[in-house]
Amino acid sequence: MDDVIIMAILSLLGFAGYVLLCFATKEPRHRLGDLLIAIYGLVLLTTIVSGLFVNWHIYFWWESLVAFSAIYGFAACVFLIYVAKGLRLWLPKEMDYYEMKEGARK
Amino acid sequence: MIGWLHPGLILIFGVLLIPLFRGKWKQAYLLVLPAVALIDVILMFMGFFGDIPYSTWSLPFLGYEFVLGRVDKLSLIFGLLFTLAALTLVIYAIHVKSDSEHMSELSYVGGALGVVFAGDLFALYIFWEIMAIASTLVVWHGRTDKARRAGFRYILWHIFGGIILLAGIVMYVHSTGSSAFNALSWGAGIASLPSYLIFIGFIINAAVPPLHAWLPDAYPESTVAGTVYLSIFTTKTAVYVLARGFVGFEPLILIGALMTAYPIFYAVLENDLRKVLCYSLINQVGFMLCGIGIGTALAVNGAVSHAFANVFFEGLLFLCVGSVLYRTGTCKCTELGGLYKAMPLTCAFCFVGAASISAFPLFSGFVTKSMIISAAAYGHMGFIWVILMLASAGVFHHAGIKVPFFTFFGEDLGFKVRDPPINMVLAMGIAAILSITIGVYPHSLYQFLPYPVDFVPYTIPHVIGQLQLLLFASFAFFVLITSGLYPPEQNKINLDSDWPLRMIGAKFMWFVKGPLMALGANLDQGLRRIASFFKGYGGELEERMLVGVSVLIALIFLAVYLLVELIYRWIMS
């Protein structure tokens, strides 16, 4: 039963952190922006710290690295955005790209 | 007592009566149709028509068996899913006045149900094509020039897929002597060609890259509700037929994994939120195909349950974006922002959908997607696991953060709008409640799955690992957006794998409109000149003789033709 409560609290914290992030980064800034970011940071820290006390089920060697999921999540997202930035060099075209190729006039 | 009722035919024939009703009665009838189909499926679950599994409504057809009603655990869960989704969507779209829109949408659902309950390949093919035609009509109901053009491209893809499927079916039936639709056999060599053709027909509907371009091309061009319908039925039907015919087909593991990764890059680039969700849909179907390819009981359960949960959480995101489009008239990142105060309910529902699709603990994606990823881990598929985890972080980035952030937060553009009408809120509420229920109490879904489930998603390491993955992915977004490194949204289209085909099409159209028309005009002018030259000789004669001469020429031509034909036959005989 204790496990259930721990998991529920952690999950709710995580969800709250995620929602706070959206409020904290909007423009114009939220008047409590700094506080929201501080709470968000605390949630991040909680997931890392609680991860140190856990007996991980390991299927691959890399999962035994400290805070592997966190590092992987961060790296994956940065990788994703930078690859997308690279693709932006040649994938985007004007909205009427195909119509122009058919010989339509602007 | 009634033998059995086909839920798909209830819808397909039921829609014919829609134009007979007016006002409130029409709305009531629209609700009754999917409700009756849903009750029908629930009765099947309860064994009202007989003990599961059974086959019914078999008709003799050219020496084969034409089976419309194959009821087992796999077809039942998809039947439940489709009727429940149809009821939710009818509620969402109940205010829509267009009869033809409701008719094409519900017959589209009917086609999908027909495929699900089809026990033989011919019945499957017929409903498959009903679905293709009805969904094209749904696209065309966007009633814009873009929708018309996208609809034509869409139907070309599906005709192509349908023909390959039919070729596969005919060859398969010819070689095996049976048209029953069960697990197909595959292997090396020409003997397996029919199975592979059927497979290609299936994966075109599943939108497997590079055969996926029709999906983000056509789906966002439909109406507010039409897009949500489209997002559900074609791809999930494809998942069903693959789960029926190709369980454990190993290439599906890699196909599925690549399918999860490919669209996430496009989703980052895309400005139109409905297109972002379309790419996210392809990514989600990738998880399902991967599970089907792994083929263990856990993986197939994962694929089926993920299909079930996905319809509601992905559908919920489409419903939210649709509501925003309904109120503001746009669903582009560059034209939206700051809506959380104006549309608080929609915003809250969007968070539920976003958290579910990202697989946050307590939401449905967590308990369904984990089954597939765990199945990959149990099978020691390291490479696949790494890709699936990358894709999970990617989903969280584009569907979890990008969709709610740029719509409801981002830069406040000062929209003066409200939440959508009560029926749309209600539909979003149903989808949200289902997403949370499955997440908090997985057994509510697990009991309906095709295989017994002993999977426990909620363990402390799993919850913490998942939270770390997601929250640090969000941290990457936070770092990039606050430092200005995040690529700004652009109002552009992004070239996709259909570029070569569309270029050929565009060049052909250019050729027809340009050089060919010019040539035609020149020829025409030349002939006129020749005619006017002869006119100088003929004078009045031309006018008097015109009809008679034409008839004479035609008669001579026919006589010559007849003569040639007769001589030909005489020689050949």
Of B241, B253, B250, B117, the closest CA to residue B183 belongs to: B241
In a domain? residue B54 = yes
- Answer whether B362 sits within 8 Å of A12, measured CB to CB: yes
Output the pLDDT for position B240. Answer: 96
- Answer whether B465 sits within 8 Å of A85, measured CB to CB: no
Output the pLDDT for position A16. Answer: 92
B511 Cβ contact partners less than 8 Å away, ≥ 6 residues apart: none
**B275: pLDDT strictly greater than 50:** yes
Of A7, A71, A91, the CB nearest to B463: A7
Provide the pLDDT confidence category of residue B549 given band limits of 50, 70 and 90: confident
What are the tens digits of pLDDT across the range B364-420? 999 999 999 999 999 999 899 999 999 999 999 989 899 999 999 988 888 888 899
A18: distance to nearest CA of chain B, Å? 7
Q: How far apart are CA B392 and CA B365, in angstroms?
A: 10
Task: State the average pLDDT over residues B249-266.
Answer: 94
In a shared domain, residues B293 and B224: no
Residue A90 DSSP label: T
**A36: pLDDT strictly greater than 70:** yes
Between B372 and B59, the higher pLDDT residue: B372
Which of B449, B464, B489 is the last residue in one of the domains?
B489
In a shared domain, residues B485 and B457: yes
- Answer whether B506 sits within 8 Å of A15, measured CB to CB: no
Q: Show me where the domains of chain A are located.
A: 1-54, 58-106
Residue of A nearest to B356 (CA): A15
Phi and psi based region of residue B458 (left: phi greater than 0; alpha: psi -120 to 50; beta: remaining): beta
- Answer whether B468 sits within 8 Å of A47, measured CB to CB: yes
In a shared domain, residues B295 and B151: no
- Answer whether B393 sits within 8 Å of A91, measured CB to CB: no
Q: Between A and B, how many residue pairs show a Cβ–Cβ distance under 8 A?
A: 203
Of A14, A73, A95, the CB nearest to B493: A95
Chain A partners within 8 Å of B509 (Cβ): 102-103
In a domain? residue B210 = no
Backbone angles phi, psi at B207, to 5 degrees: 60, 50
In a shared domain, residues B297 and B398: yes
Residue A46 · residue A10 · CB < 8 Å: yes
In a shared domain, residues B223 and B110: yes
Which of B489, B507, B529 is the last residue in one of the domains?
B489
Q: Is the ipTM of this complex over 0.90?
A: yes
Coil, helix or strand at residue A27:
strand
Provide the pLDDT confidence category of residue B83 given band limits of 50, 70 and 90: very high
Residue of A nearest to B499 (CA): A98
Task: Identify any residues that bridge with B55 across adjacent strands, giving them in sequence order.
Answer: B70
- Answer whether B471 sits within 8 Å of A67, measured CB to CB: no
Residue B326 · residue B224 · CB < 8 Å: yes
Q: How far from chain centre, in Å, is Cα B325?
A: 20
Chain B partners within 8 Å of A91 (Cβ): 269, 494-495
Beta strands in B6-88 (DSSP E): 54-61, 64-71
Chain B partners within 8 Å of A101 (Cβ): 503, 506-507, 510
Between A106 and B143, the higher pLDDT residue: B143
Of B284, B433, B467, B440, the closest CA to residue B360 belongs to: B467
In a domain? residue B35 = yes
Q: How far apart are CA B163 and CA A23, in angstroms?
A: 51
Strands A92-93 and B493-494: antiparallel
Of B155, B176, B282, B164, the closest CA to residue B221 belongs to: B155
Distances (CA, A) of A7 to B98, B225, B360, B437: 48, 37, 12, 16
Of B397, B459, B460, the CB nearest to A80: B397
- Answer whether B492 sits within 8 Å of A78, measured CB to CB: no
Chain B partners within 8 Å of A17 (Cβ): 471, 474
Determine the structural domain holding residue B520 and report its residue range: 498-538
In a shared domain, residues B347 and B361: yes
Phi and psi based region of residue B412 (left: phi greater than 0; alpha: psi -120 to 50; beta: remaining): beta
- Answer whether B468 sits within 8 Å of A84, measured CB to CB: no
Output the pLDDT for position B1. Answer: 47
Output the pLDDT for position B537. Answer: 60
Chain B partners within 8 Å of A18 (Cβ): 355, 360, 400, 470-471, 474
- Answer whether A103 sits within 8 Å of B495, measured CB to CB: no
Output the pLDDT for position B542. Answer: 54
**B236: pLDDT strictly greater than 80:** yes
Rg of chain A taking only CA atoms, in angstroms: 21
Of A19, A47, A90, the CB nearest to B467: A47
**A106: pLDDT strictly greater than 80:** no
B122 Cβ contact partners less than 8 Å away, ≥ 6 residues apart: B61, B64, B66, B169, B173, B179
What are the tens digits of pLDDT across the range A45-102? 999 999 888 888 788 888 888 888 999 999 999 999 999 999 988 888 888 888 888 7
What are the tens digits of pLDDT across the range B111-138? 999 999 999 999 999 999 999 999 999 9
**B505: pLDDT strictly greater than 80:** yes
Residue of A nearest to B382 (CA): A60
Chain B partners within 8 Å of A12 (Cβ): 362
What are the tens digits of pLDDT across the range B206-222? 999 999 999 999 999 99
Residue of A nearest to B340 (CA): A23
Interface test with A, best of B383, B395, B468 (most A CBs within 10 A): B468
**B540: pLDDT strictly greater than 70:** no
Of B18, B6, B186, the closest CA to residue B106 belongs to: B18
In a shared domain, residues B321 and B358: yes
Task: State the average pLDDT over residues B471-494.
Answer: 90
Chain B partners within 8 Å of A25 (Cβ): 405, 409, 478, 481-482
**B541: pLDDT strictly greater than 60:** no
Task: State the average pLDDT over residues B95-115.
Answer: 94
Interface test with B, best of A42, A87, A102, A105 (most B CBs within 10 A): A102
In a shared domain, residues B274 and B230: no
H helix or E strand, kind and range, residue B494: strand B493-494
Residue of B nearest to A56 (CA): B461
In a domain? residue B208 = no
Q: How far apart are CA B541 and CA B538, in angstroms?
A: 5
A16 Cβ contact partners less than 8 Å away, ≥ 6 residues apart: A39, A43
**Terminal Cα-to-Cα distance of chain B (whole angstroms):** 64
In a shared domain, residues B457 and B406: yes
Both tokens of B300, joined, read 């197939």
In a shared domain, residues B170 and B311: no
For chain B, give the mean pLDDT: 91
In a domain? residue B192 = no
**B346: pLDDT strictly greater than 50:** yes
pTM of the entire structure? 0.90
H helix or E strand, kind and range, residue B106: helix B99-117
Q: Report the greatest alpha carbon distance in chain B.
A: 101
Q: Report the greatest alpha carbon distance in chain A.
A: 69
In a shared domain, residues B83 and B140: yes
- Answer whether A74 sits within 8 Å of B467, measured CB to CB: no
What's the number of domains chain B is made of?
Answer: 4
A8: distance to nearest CA of chain B, Å? 8
Output the pLDDT for position B545. Answer: 62
Coil, helix or strand at residue A54:
coil
Of A53, A7, A11, the closest CA to residue B467 belongs to: A11
Output the pLDDT for position B404. Answer: 92
- Answer whether B471 sits within 8 Å of A92, measured CB to CB: no
In a domain? residue B27 = yes
Point out the least confidently predicted range of B463-472, B520-529, B538-547: B538-547
- Answer whether A93 sits within 8 Å of B467, measured CB to CB: no
Provide the pLDDT confidence category of residue A2 given band limits of 50, 70 and 90: confident
Task: State the average pLDDT over residues A33-40.
Answer: 89
B447: distance to nearest CA of chain A, Å? 21
Chain A partners within 8 Å of B504 (Cβ): none
3-state secondary structure B416-454: CCCCCCHHHHHHHHHHHHHHHHHHHCCHHHHCCCCCCCC
Interface test with B, best of A50, A77, A90, A98 (most B CBs within 10 A): A77
In a shared domain, residues B309 and B458: yes
Residue whose tokens read 């009703």 = B21
Of A26, A78, A82, A33, the closest CA to residue B407 belongs to: A26
Residue of A nearest to B390 (CA): A76
Coil, helix or strand at residue B243:
helix
